[in-house]
Amino acid sequence: MKGNISDDELVVRIVQMDYEAINILYDRYEETIYRCARIIVKDHHLAQDVVQDTFVKVIEKAHTFRFRSSFKTWILNICKNTALKKLKDTKKRSLIIEVQDSLRKIDDSFEDRLINQTIIQESIQQLPQEQQEAIQLILKGYTYKQVAKLKSIPEGTVKSRVRLGLKRLKLRLKGWLGVNER
């Protein structure tokens, strides 16, 4: 019976939160979604994350499917967008981690830490005000979404300010902290 159910029928059942339909859909498309994700992110573990995120989005957004295109086209488009976002987020995260790793390499003596903290703070203070504020809030643990809401600006603007600010900060700190130029 599982193989006889059309994708369109599965979507209708998923909107009603039919778990059997969700399982059938997963079995039917998991491998295809994984291959699509793997081509984009080029990493097994990230691709697995994309598969899971894609199916969560499909379940959440099944009610928006309009049956004008094929379901396969729709789900692959969700996968593609999810993979591209994951890739973008991973690159930003790796830049932040690189700066944080460089900060950890600073000598542990109190004087050196004090000097380095002063240099870092001065470098942050030299950034444009908008980038400075965005980076400081992110470093305090706020999410991009929280910063966007706090500053009443789009989340994409926050991400852009952080990315540009981190690049400038990396260039300023390159000599002091041994941050590699890319």
pLDDT per residue over 123-152, tens digit each? 888 899 999 999 889 888 899 999 999 999
Which distant-in-sequence residues (6+ apart) come within 8 Å of 123 by Cβ?
169, 172, 173
Both tokens of residue 30? 């998991």
For residues 60, 64, 70, 76, the Cα torsion angle rounded to the nearest 10 degrees is -40
Q: Tell me which fold the domain 2-87 belongs to.
A: Rna Polymerase Sigma Factor; Chain: A (1.10.1740)
Q: What percent of the chain has pLDDT over 70?
A: 85
The whole-number pLDDT of residue 119 equals 80
Tell me the domain boundaries of the chain.
Answer: 2-87, 105-177
Distance CA 3, CA 70 (A): 17
59 vs 110, residue with greater confidence: 59
> Is a pLDDT exceeding 60 seen at residue 18?
yes
Phi-psi region for residue 141, left (φ > 0), alpha (ψ -120 to 50) or beta?
left
Q: Tell me which fold the domain 105-177 belongs to.
A: Arc Repressor Mutant, subunit A (1.10.10)
